[in-house]
Chain A
Amino acid sequence: MKIKQIIVFLLIVLPAQVLPSGGSIYSRFGLGDYFFSFSARRLALGELGIATTDVDYLNYLNPASWNKMRLSRFETGIITHGNDISSNSESVFHVQTIFSGMMFGFPIDRELGFSFATGIVPYSNVNYDVTFDETDPIGGSYTSGYKGDGGLSKAFLGFSFRLPLEFAIGASLDYYNGKIEHLSSVAFGPESELISASFSRNYSYNGLGFTMGIISPNIALLFGSEAVKDLRIGIVYSTKSRMNTDTTNVSSTLLGDIETSTGSMNTNLPSRFGAGLSLSLSNGLNFTADYLFQQTSKFDAGGRTLNVMRDLTKYSLGVEYRNPESRSQSFWEQVMLRGGLSFEQTQYTINGKGIDQISLYTGFSMPIGFDNTLDLGFQFGKRGTKENNLLSENFYKFSITLSIGELWFIQTER
């Protein structure tokens, strides 16, 4: 247990020690970049896995996936995101490490697939930091700075249930919450008589939503194939969330920070739909194929839609190998290997050009005791283009997640 405690401690403490630096300017728009997975396992499988029903992992994308939860389970981790951003004239490399959230779930009635899960996971991330040396007939020489920080997180709790004919359903109540700050500043050199100053606009969001999911019974049984052990289809839908948004404008002046205006508005987080296929072969290979759609073109803040937003579409494929021999005791025989790829039409369309992203994934799980794993996932992706004065980004994400399964809440018979 000691090693697990150390790892949990590191996972919580490390992000606090690693201050985020500037990331992509694309995250300036809307609510920033979206997250689709919080765990290293999902990341390595192409980030989705909507139809996957796990006995030993938690998946927040589809609540129906909790129906086969074997033990009480806790998962948490961190994600390090490195981004090599290039324009036509220069490039920059940024790294950001964040806490990837946590999930906790336990089975209530295994026979009925009745399980409960809750957690808090990042939903979006705004992180950019741009400076530019300028001259102005009035202001003279100065450095302008534009910085954004924050994002949305999603706290949720929900249940899964297995219906007759082995259909699994699940639903969660989602609470979106977060703060995003956009800072605009001017800084003058010591030779200038002008005073450096900045404007910041702070958004504070909170709103409710629901996620409903369904996973089919094992369709492979219909074919009677020995090679195909399990084949399922999953569908998930997250409702639109009308988030109450408090806005605060703050000016940093010679007199200090002055709150110049406050207000309240609604921000509409568009609904999200996903569908996936999960295929397990008897030789230990598991395949996933997923599709995710979010009508982000309908994103609006205070009734205003953004002309830099389009609908988000993501396609992903994943493969995982886990030793089919469950009695195996060797460390290496218990290691699970994963890989994946995805194509994403991101929600951004800037300068008349849609920003697309393609990613490759890999990862593995290491056992650290019975039903406990340490998962590592790695994503390498390419987003955007230098055409139309846009930015091309080569990025990586490195995720580490601890998944701990324990036998809790089970009454022992006397």
Chain B
Amino acid sequence: MNRFLKLSFIPFLILIFARCNEEPTSVGYNLLPEDGKIQFKQLDSKETPINQSSSSFEAKIKLGTSPYIILGKNSHLESVILMQFSPAFADSMVIYYKSNKVKIKKAWMEMRRAYKLGDETQNFDFTLHQVRKNWTSTGFDKDSLAKLTYDSKDVASSKVLVDTLLKFNIEPEVIEQWLKYRVDTLSAPKNYGLLMKPTANTQRFIGFIAFGETIVSDLPTLKIQYEQNSKVDSLFSTPYMDVHVVTGSFLKQPENIYLQGGLTSRGFLSFNIASLPKDIIINSAKLELTIDTLKSINGQPLSDSIDVRALKDSVSKELSGDSLIVSVLKRDKNIYSGEITWLIQKWISSSETNANQGMMLSLTDEQRSLARLAIFGSKAADINNRPRLKIVYIQKK
């Protein structure tokens, strides 16, 4: 009996585990009711204009963590650099200095260019000043700069810019002052670093690797040659704190969105997509922005991408909680384009009635660039140049 029982199970188990299941096929597709099928639809703001609005607004960003420090000036912007050094004066040097056996023979700075903006044939010059007030790169901005005190005397000389290397001498007295303070804090002013300011006739910008970046060899380097007990030696020092501060005027023209690095100007853009049904799924939402090349200034490396973030409030320009999600628009010729599918889906699917508070546009490298991108806005005279939103979505019939 047991043998028969076991044998009778075998075909059954084979039947189950063999399964013979094929992948789904189209058999029966024609019998599906039409009202459950999926259909594609499209909304293209170029073909079916929808209400949109755009503007530019000023934003404050912290440049203390910028990977570049930028120096220069043009017709509407000026950028200065602040650097703090702490040369490693050896104890023996301090002892010899006390007995007047140390003399700073020469000090010079070598700064390797990492960024540039503006015509290289244009003038570039600057002055170097000793800072007389304490500062820190964290949170340092143009307001802080206005309150900064520094010597009016230019302590730089023999400025040479060859290829990518900026080299200039610093008056030895500056270094000696630092050394003196090291020996006796009462006999000399404290070392608060140096301020580099572009001269009035400067018409371009140059950027350098900032403190905190991994490429230490490319950091600006202060080189000090000194004589100690009749022997000549040298000392190198790189900044332990730096920042650049940009001042200037904002451009606001209703027909354009201005994205400005450094200063900083960001863009606001909003589309009215209330005409879209709520029960749809966005398969693609592509945003295209056309650049007004005549009003744009770009640097090297190029500012070739724009970040798009969701706004929580279109008036205060406060970012939404998920602003860590960033869509990036990439440049191809004169158009920046990219997917903002998540953003449109968020607006569509939100249970809040005013979820669509628009989006914020900013240069991806606004912290390390002084580029200004002029993008044709929602009021551009040529409709074809206005921001274009192309949405592909599915809906059940």
Assembled-state Cα–Cα distance A137/B8 (Å): 56
Across the interface, which residues of A come within 8 angstroms of B123, CB to CB? none
Cross-interface CB contact of A184 among B20, B280, B342, B396, cutoff 8 Å: B396
Name which residue of chain B comes closest to A21, CB basis: B21
A411 at the interface (CB under 8 A from B): no
Query: Does A22 lie within 8 Å of B4, measured CB to CB?
Result: no
Number of interface residues of B (CB under 8 A): 47
Question: What is the minimal beta-carbon distance from B180 to any residue of chain A, in angstroms?
Answer: 63
The interface-forming segment of B32-40, B161-169, B195-203, B263-271 is B32-40
Across the interface, which residues of B come within 8 angstroms of A185, CB to CB? 38
The interface-forming segment of A86-94, A212-220, A291-299 is A86-94
Most buried by B among A87, A145, A198: A87
Question: What is the minimal beta-carbon distance from B55 to any residue of chain A, in angstroms?
Answer: 27
B155 at the interface (CB under 8 A from A): no
B305 at the interface (CB under 8 A from A): no
A128 at the interface (CB under 8 A from B): yes
B345 at the interface (CB under 8 A from A): yes
Q: Is the interface of B mostly helix, strand, loop or mixed?
A: mixed
Binary per-residue interface labels of chain B (5-32) against chain A in the complex, 1 for a CB within 8 Å, 0 otherwise: 1001000100111011111111111111
Query: Does B28 lie within 8 Å of A24, measured CB to CB?
Result: yes
Query: Does A254 lie within 8 Å of B342, measured CB to CB?
Result: yes
Query: Does A129 lie within 8 Å of B24, measured CB to CB?
Result: yes
Across the interface, which residues of A come within 8 angstroms of B396, CB to CB? 184, 199
A282 at the interface (CB under 8 A from B): no
Binary per-residue interface labels of chain B (108-126) against chain A in the complex, 1 for a CB within 8 Å, 0 otherwise: 0000000000000000000
Name which residue of chain A comes closest to B322, CB basis: A255
The interface-forming segment of B83-91, B99-107, B281-289, B380-388 is B281-289
Across the interface, which residues of A come within 8 angstroms of B349, CB to CB? 251, 253, 255, 258, 260
Binary per-residue interface labels of chain B (249-287) against chain A in the complex, 1 for a CB within 8 Å, 0 otherwise: 000000000000000000000000000001111111010
Query: Does A254 lie within 8 Å of B394, measured CB to CB?
Result: no
Query: Does A22 lie within 8 Å of B8, measured CB to CB?
Result: no
Across the interface, which residues of A come within 8 angstroms of B28, CB to CB? 24-26, 85, 87, 128, 130, 391
Query: Number of contacts between A and B (CB, 8 Å)?
Result: 161
Query: Does A253 lie within 8 Å of B32, measured CB to CB?
Result: no
A51 at the interface (CB under 8 A from B): no
Query: Does A136 lie within 8 Å of B26, measured CB to CB?
Result: no
Question: What is the minimal beta-carbon distance from B48 to any residue of chain A, in angstroms?
Answer: 13
Query: Does A366 lie within 8 Å of B40, measured CB to CB?
Result: no
A139 at the interface (CB under 8 A from B): yes
Across the interface, which residues of B come within 8 angstroms of A199, CB to CB? 38, 281, 394, 396
Name which residue of chain A comes closest to B397, CB basis: A184
Assembled-state Cα–Cα distance A17/B16 (Å): 10
B366 at the interface (CB under 8 A from A): no
Query: Does B30 lie within 8 Å of A184, measured CB to CB?
Result: no
Across the interface, which residues of B come within 8 angstroms of A196, CB to CB? 283
Cross-interface CB contact of A139 among B32, B283, B342, cutoff 8 Å: B283
B315 at the interface (CB under 8 A from A): no
A261 at the interface (CB under 8 A from B): yes
Query: Does A184 lie within 8 Å of B16, measured CB to CB?
Result: no
Across the interface, which residues of A come within 8 angstroms of B282, CB to CB? 195, 253-254
Question: What is the minimal beta-carbon distance from B170 to any residue of chain A, in angstroms?
Answer: 55
B1 at the interface (CB under 8 A from A): yes
Cross-interface CB contact of A82 among B1, B20, B36, cutoff 8 Å: B20
Assembled-state Cα–Cα distance A384/B278 (Å): 39
B378 at the interface (CB under 8 A from A): no
Cross-interface CB contact of B36 among A14, A24, A91, A146, cutoff 8 Å: A146
Most buried by A among B4, B33, B42, B346: B33
Assembled-state Cα–Cα distance A95/B19 (Å): 6
Across the interface, which residues of B come within 8 angstroms of A254, CB to CB? 282, 341-342, 345
Query: Does A331 lie within 8 Å of B1, measured CB to CB?
Result: yes
Assembled-state Cα–Cα distance A366/B22 (Å): 34
Cross-interface CB contact of B29 among A86, A132, A368, cutoff 8 Å: A132
Q: What band does the interface of chain A fall in when counting residues whose beta carbon is under 8 Å from B?
A: 35 or more
B295 at the interface (CB under 8 A from A): no
Query: Does B32 lie within 8 Å of A197, measured CB to CB?
Result: no
Assembled-state Cα–Cα distance A87/B29 (Å): 10
Query: Does A182 lie within 8 Å of B36, measured CB to CB?
Result: yes
Across the interface, which residues of B come within 8 angstroms of A91, CB to CB? 27
Across the interface, which residues of A come within 8 angstroms of B141, CB to CB? none
Assembled-state Cα–Cα distance A389/B281 (Å): 32
Cross-interface CB contact of B25 among A95, A130, A195, A261, cutoff 8 Å: A130
Assembled-state Cα–Cα distance A130/B279 (Å): 23
Cross-interface CB contact of A195 among B20, B24, B283, cutoff 8 Å: B283
Across the interface, which residues of A come within 8 angstroms of B29, CB to CB? 25, 130-132, 146
Across the interface, which residues of A come within 8 angstroms of B30, CB to CB? 87, 389
Name which residue of chain B comes closest to A133, CB basis: B26
Assembled-state Cα–Cα distance A253/B36 (Å): 18
Cross-interface CB contact of B31 among A28, A258, A366, cutoff 8 Å: A28
Name which residue of chain B comes closest to A85, CB basis: B27
Assembled-state Cα–Cα distance A147/B281 (Å): 18
Across the interface, which residues of A come within 8 angstroms of B25, CB to CB? 90, 92, 130-131
Query: Does B392 lie within 8 Å of A138, measured CB to CB?
Result: yes
Known: A197-B394, A253-B345. A90 touches B26 (CB 8 A): yes
Question: What is the minimal beta-carbon distance from B32 to any residue of chain A, in angstroms?
Answer: 6
Cross-interface CB contact of B27 among A92, A147, A249, A308, cutoff 8 Å: A92
Known: A130-B32, A249-B279, A376-B12. A95 touches B21 (CB 8 A): yes
Query: Does B37 lie within 8 Å of A194, measured CB to CB?
Result: no
Binary per-residue interface labels of chain A (108-150) against chain B in the complex, 1 for a CB within 8 Å, 0 otherwise: 0000000000000000000011111100111100001111000
Name which residue of chain A comes closest to B41, CB basis: A138
Cross-interface CB contact of A366 among B8, B339, B346, cutoff 8 Å: B8
Question: What is the minimal beta-carbon distance from A253 to any residue of chain B, in angstroms?
Answer: 5
Cross-interface CB contact of A193 among B23, B27, B38, B284, cutoff 8 Å: B284
- Seen from chain A, the residues whose Cβ lies within 8 Å of a Cβ on chain B are 3, 14, 18, 21-22, 24-26, 28, 80, 82, 85-87, 90-95, 97, 128-133, 136-139, 144-147, 182, 184-186, 188, 193-199, 249, 251-255, 258, 260-261, 308, 331, 350-351, 366-368, 374, 376, 389-391, 398, 400
25 A–B contacts, CB within 8 A, in A order: A28-B31, A87-B30, A92-B22, A92-B24, A92-B25, A97-B16, A131-B26, A136-B40, A138-B42, A145-B24, A146-B29, A147-B24, A184-B37, A184-B38, A195-B284, A196-B283, A197-B394, A253-B282, A254-B342, A260-B278, A308-B33, A366-B5, A368-B5, A391-B27, A391-B28
With A131-B26, A184-B38 given, name 16 new contacts (CB 8 A).
A21-B19, A85-B27, A86-B27, A87-B27, A90-B25, A145-B24, A146-B29, A147-B24, A254-B345, A255-B342, A255-B349, A368-B5, A374-B5, A390-B31, A391-B28, A391-B31
Shortest 10 CB-CB distances between A and B: which pairs?
A25-B28, A139-B40, A21-B21, A194-B283, A138-B40, A197-B281, A129-B24, A331-B1, A132-B26, A132-B29
- Seen from chain B, the residues whose Cβ lies within 8 Å of a Cβ on chain A are 1-2, 4-5, 8, 12, 15-17, 19-33, 36-38, 40-42, 278-284, 286, 339, 341-342, 345-346, 349, 392, 394, 396
